[in-house]
Structure formats: C-alpha cells, structure tokens
Amino acid sequence: MSRLSEKSRKDRLLVIGGNAAGMSAASKAKRLRPDLDVIALEKSPHVSYSACGIPYFVSDLVRDPGQLVALTPQEFQTKRGIQVCTLHDVVDISPVKRRVTAVDLATGREVGFDYDRLMIAVGGRPHLPAPFNPEAANVFSIQTLQDGIRIKQYIDTHRPRSIVLIGGGYIAMEMAEACRLRGRDVTILEKAPRILPGFDDVIAGHVAAELSANSVRVVTDVQALDTNGDGAVTSISAGAGSFDADLVLVCAGMRPNTDLAKIAGARLGKTGAIKTDWKMQTSAPNIYAGGDCVEVRNLVSGGSDYIPLGTTANKHGRVAGENIGGGTATFKGVVGTSVFKVFGLEVARTGLALAQARESGFDADAVTISENSRAAYYPNAQKVVCRIIFDKRTGLLLGGQMLGREGVSKRIDILAVALANKMTLEETANMDLSYAPPFAPVWDPVLVAVNVARGKMQR
C-alpha cells in the first residue's frame, strides 16, 4: 500500500473470527464510531450463529440451519456497514507492520489486510484424542455450524445405526439426546471415573441414571482407545470391550486456539489461553482478544480460569468493541454459570465444585437437598435437587449445582448473582424470592438448601 493511500485510508478495525466475540466487537465499535472501517475475516462459511443450537439442529428439532444464524455476511454489510469475508483463513500477523495475511480458501491466494486495531476472536479448537484421525470419513468434532451441517448430512445419508460419543461433558449429553431422538444406538466413552467431571458426584449420578433410562450406554474409566476400519471407523476398542461405531462424535473438550496470538507476540496466561487486561487488550500493541481463546478471572476463586461459554464471548466482544470505539468498558470476570438439558432433566452449575473449592484454599463443605419445584399440592410438582458449596468458617457461598425436570435454569441464576456479589449463606437466605403455588413453594429449594448449609457452619 502506498504512503498516499495509507494516509487516505480510514481507521480500520480488523476482526479475526466471525462469531460471538468477534461480531459483537465489530458491531459495538461500528455503532460508537460510524466512520470506522470494520472488516471481519472468518475461516468457515458462516458467521454470527448459535453453536449451542447445533444439537437441536442435528436432532431435527430445528430443521433449517439458517434459523441458527443471527445475521448473514450480507446483512452485516447492509444493516451495519461491516464487511465480512468468509472462507478467509488468517495465517500470519505482523504487529510491526499492522498487517494480517489470510488465505482466500475459495481461490487459494494470499490476501493482505492492514489494520489500526485488531481483534482476535478465533475461539477454541476441539480436542481430538489419539488414535482418531480427523480425515476419517465418519469421525466428526463439534464446533462450527458447518460441523453440525456435515453431521446431520451424514446421519441423513448414511443412516448410521451405532453412534459413539468420545467424552462425557455437557456437549456429549446434548448430542446423546439428539442422536437418540434420531433413533440411533448411543454409547458414551469417558476416560474419567464418571461423566461430567465439572460436577460433583451426586449430580453426575442423577444424570447417569437419566442416560441409562433413555438407553444410552455409558462407559467410564476408559484408559486406552483403538479404532478399527480403513478410511472410516467401524468399531472402537476400549478397556471395557469393543463397541460398534458407524459414526464417531468427538466431544472431548475444547482447547484455546492461540496460534495467531503467539505469532503476534501476545502473552498467554496460566491456563494456556490468551491473557488480556480488563479492557480485553492483549500484551501486544493495538491487539484485543475475546471468546473461547481467552482466559478469564474466576470471581469466586480469584484465579485465572478457562471457561469457554457463548455468554462470556459476547460480553468480551462488547467490552472490546466499546474500548476500540473510544468508550470505556471493563470485563471483571465470571462465576462460571452454565446449564444444559439432557432428555427430561435440566442440569446447571455455577461457582466452584467441592473439590475446586478445597483446591482454591477454602474450608469447603457441601449440602444436597431435594425439594418440590412448586407447592406440593399444585399439579405436576417436580423435585429439584439443589447442592450448595460453602466455606464452613466464613459462611461464604462458593458454588451451586442443580438438576430437575423444571425450574432449574432460573434458580441457578439466583446463586450466580449471589456469587458475583460475594454473598454469605445468611445474606442469600434473606433474599426476597418470588412465591406462588404454580411456580415455587413458600420456601424455595434454593433457600432450603442455603439454610441447611447454615446449620453445618462452624460455630
């Protein structure tokens, strides 16, 4: 680019990654500074979609993948003035030249983009454990909307009878339900002693029972895997035996994608993800980052954590975009709140699990109760299992876990608010929660659990 054209060019924000964090940053910055030239580069064919909706697309509850897309590249251009270049794989960043090099996957040519501010929002990458070959015809990871489209096409075309899920986290739970709704035999293989390692035993046990009741086979303590088949996996051998596998879905967790940050010289944190300040700025000049490639501060433990969630990514993008656009915003951290559905159960958590709390130096204990979701006399009342983790000495609330057939997703938010405000058990017990027989008993399960925990405090 000539010196004249460089001077005449408008200030430019270049975004790498076209989903939650990236497009939130692009939209916020453009809103604050309409004169800003904003370009987003995305490796896949889609931007601004709900990755969390992929299991419901695979299950056929959502028929059209377009329903998961908030805005198309064309709509970003016409409605927000943001240029989106899909099928552009960024391969290099030069912070000195403020220049990014990408490969146009449609043509194979390298293309250069100059920037004044850069936002790295490339997300995480699925962990593919040995011995799985990503080139195998029937082995799929689950990250992008394009992954979901390929999985659904494979099921529709090849009609696999046996589906094996590698990993026992919440994505595996959602995909197990999706595959059972499609009438397939489902097996989950998990290397840990139980599924849902981020939850305590009592909650994980209830979920395992729900899976069994819906004919999902769960095999834990899988220490070694081997695949059979040439070009496509036909079966998987594990310590517990051999399992037919017409389709393999790898749900073995996410790792932060930090390759570009390393090239740019941005510092990584203790978790291995990109480290940013409260403004979402990296250690590299003029470069911001957000989403699943970034570590966060855990507001309960006070330490660095890697908690890849869409809600956090959107907040990252909004904060980065405001600062890029000339405003002032900060992202202080998270308490780690999440919820998922598996068959008839809602399952949620926030804060620290018991083992995490003890590892973080708290004198931690936990209580678990089971109470009605509504007044007992009101029709169709269901049980809610509520687990509270707390510090026995100070009475500080440290975490909560819940499951039930209704009323879980918003109850966990009560505990999330309490954790974010560093409330004690006593303060939480005095919260003025709503009551009416169709929605809650006069003593909500959250309050019952908190009061039981208060009884276990050291006096």
pLDDT at 231: 76
pLDDT tier for residue 315 given thresholds of 50, 70 and 90: very high
Same domain flag for 99 and 138: no
Report the interhelical angle of 411-420 vs 445-454 (nearest 10°): 50
Are 441 and 369 contained in the same domain?
A: yes
Number of domains within the chain: 3
On whether both 307 and 282 belong to a single domain, the answer is yes
Residue 187 has a pLDDT of 97
pLDDT: which is higher, 5 or 29: 29
Within a domain: residue 341?
Answer: no
- Report, as an integer, the average pLDDT of 212-231: 86
Q: Are residues 133 and 109 in the same domain?
A: no
Residue 56 lies in a domain: no
Q: What is the mean pLDDT of the chain?
A: 94
The pLDDT tens digits of the residues spanning 403-439 come to 999 999 999 999 999 999 999 999 999 999 999 999 9
**383: domain CATH number?**
3.30.390.30
**Among candidate residues 229, 252, 275, the one where a domain is terminated:** 252
Q: Residue 15's pLDDT is what?
A: 98
Which of 188, 217, 252 delimits the end of a domain? 252
One domain, residues 145 and 108: no
Q: What pTM was computed for the model? A: 0.93
Spatial separation of the C-alpha atoms in residues 84 and 301, rounded to whole Å: 39
- Residue 251 bears catalytic tag: no
Mean pLDDT confidence for 188-196: 94
Q: Is residue 335 part of a domain?
A: no
CATH number at 117 reads 3.50.50.60
Per the DSSP assignment, residues forming a β-bridge with 392 are none
* Structural domain boundaries, residue 221: 128-252
pLDDT value of position 240: 67
Query: Cis bond leading into 437, ω under 30°?
Result: no
Q: Check residue 3 and give its pLDDT.
A: 34
Same structural domain for residues 260 and 242?
no
Does 245 lie in the same domain as 156? yes
Catalytic annotation, pick one of 52, 179, 251, 293: 52
pLDDT at 241: 84
13 with 91, same domain?
yes
The reply to whether 220 and 148 lie within a common domain is: yes
Is there a domain that residue 367 lies in?
A: yes
The two structure tokens encoding residue 333 = 């951290």
